[in-house]
Amino acid sequence: MKVLIITGELAYPLVKQKADKSKVDTIVHIADNTQIAAFLTPSKIIKEIKENYENQLDEIDMILTPGLMRKTTIEISKAFNIPSFKGSTDAADLQMVLDLVEDLELSEDKAADKLIEDEKRKQAFQFIEDYENNEEKVGELLKKPNNILVKNLPVGEDFPMRVLSEIANAPALSKEDLIKKAEYFVASGSDMIDIGMLAGEDRSEDIPGLIETLRPIIGDRPLSIDTLNPKEIKVAVDCGIDMVLSLDHGNCEELLPLLKEHNIPAVLLPTNYNEGFVPHTPEERISSMKKLLKKTEGLDGIADMVLDPINSNSLVDSITAYNDFHKEIKRPMFFGVGNVIELMDTDSVGANALLTGIGMELGASILFTPEESGKTAGSVHELAVSSKMMFLAKHRHSIPKDLGINLLVFKDKRKHVDLDEDYDVPVEQAKECTKFKRDPLGSFKIRVDYGKDVESSKIVVTHFKKTKPDIAVSGTYAKEVYDELVKKGLVTRLEHAAYLGSELQKAEIAMITRKDYIQDFDLFNRPLKLK
């Protein structure tokens, strides 16, 4: 196969380097008077090929254009009757594209590297789906002591770690807020939903209504209740709860017959809160858990060795407890990731992924988290993704890299190769204009309407004529919103238009990342100065 690659002057050295390293026979052509490859158009490329390769067309099997070219390659394919497709967005990825060119179904309008990512992602999800839907295999795995069934959901070391999201302080929420929270967790990828009760209060009378409200929202997902209060647990069991958080030495004897009768699994804590007993060392935790397992024999128990926040007791000791317990006893294990993340001032994405990886190595079955602070917003989705990443890594016997699924939110996987763009023009230092002149057509108030997920969220812009609102525009992308505002003729001043574009882009980023958007304030902090 011979591939003709069209590029610009700046990208040519790197494109040529990557093309020469590939196993494909290539011709790399620099388009005349074109520095930036992304500025190429189909008509320009057609002209270049006619002028330079008219007599070689019979030898060319494929034409690759820059991945960042705005228009499709359809016109090029028709002009020469040669398949023409978009290459990679980054020249650094061209070798990968060329090496896969015979196996990859390239696109006329989508960059090749994006297609590779899409295909890897599709294969990754397909593997998980096929694994979960293999009824015979699942049935065999459920015979092992480290796997159980919670409602109809297989839970255990041999399955992807299940994400259990807690609706904290559920009895204190309005019905509307309860539903919104549950819808959000479901949309975020939660496998199980937990009703968090109020510590130190008996709200048994609220439980039937909570369960009745949540069941239609969560579908066939298991529903659990988070309380040590025997009275609340008894009411929840009578109302059909699927799992109990938690049993410990203080309440297990009273509740055990009931849970066994209804075949309801329970999370087991190595504590006795009635007597104020909380083990700390790994040895104490394991010894106490063994005694509790003996007391609750015959019950499907999920061992919670209690993951401690950093520098509270000891995160390391708690991880050691999990590790030593797992080496000795094969039982499903509960991993309270939220204990660590909620009590650490850092972004949650990487921390959740790291703890998920640790949980996988320890043999954890359930990843548990609320989302009670701004810094942990999105934790359920992060755990849902990282759980799948670790499951794939485990089964591929690989590190959690190049899996087709990733949690890259704020940083890029590969560093973009910057091209030396020296235009030999004077460079002036930008200075902020301190004078503000109001647009005679009015002003804008911008907000983000956060839905249960990004797709259901909106950027909402209200136009004010003097002090009175007269029209609002909403959309999911900054560009479609400002296009509509410009189309309606609501902006006259250039600086106002630039400001509007900047603020709308901030709003879109906030919507995607679930950061708080406040108009006229920075979205991100500058890096912390160490001195």
Both structure tokens of 368: 């548990």
Put residue 306 in one of left, alpha, beta given phi > 0 → left and psi -120 to 50 → alpha: left
- Tell me what pLDDT residue 434 has: 67
Put residue 409 in one of left, alpha, beta given phi > 0 → left and psi -120 to 50 → alpha: alpha
Q: How far apart are the C-alpha atoms of 232 and 247, rounded to whole Å? A: 12
Question: Which DSSP state fits 366?
Answer: E
Give me the CATH topology for the region 2-115.
Answer: Rossmann fold (3.40.50)
Q: How many CA atoms lie within 13 A of 342 on its CB side?
A: 15
- Tell me what pLDDT residue 204 has: 97
pTM: 0.86
Both structure tokens of 495: 């600086």
**Superfamily (CATH H level) for 134-396:** Dihydropteroate synthase-like (3.20.20.20)
Those residues of the chain that have pLDDT short of 50 are none
Three-state secondary structure call for residue 350: helix
CB 506 within 8 A of CB 517: yes
Name residues whose C-beta falls within 8 Å of residue 99's C-beta, 6 or more positions apart in sequence: 22, 23, 24
* Amino acid at position 426, single letter: P
- Tell me what pLDDT residue 419 has: 58
Q: How far apart are the C-alpha atoms of 485 and 390, rounded to whole Å? A: 45
Sign, CA dihedral 140-144-150-153, equals negative
Q: How many CA atoms lie within 13 A of 504 on its CB side?
A: 25
CB 37 within 8 A of CB 14: no
- Tell me what pLDDT residue 380 has: 97
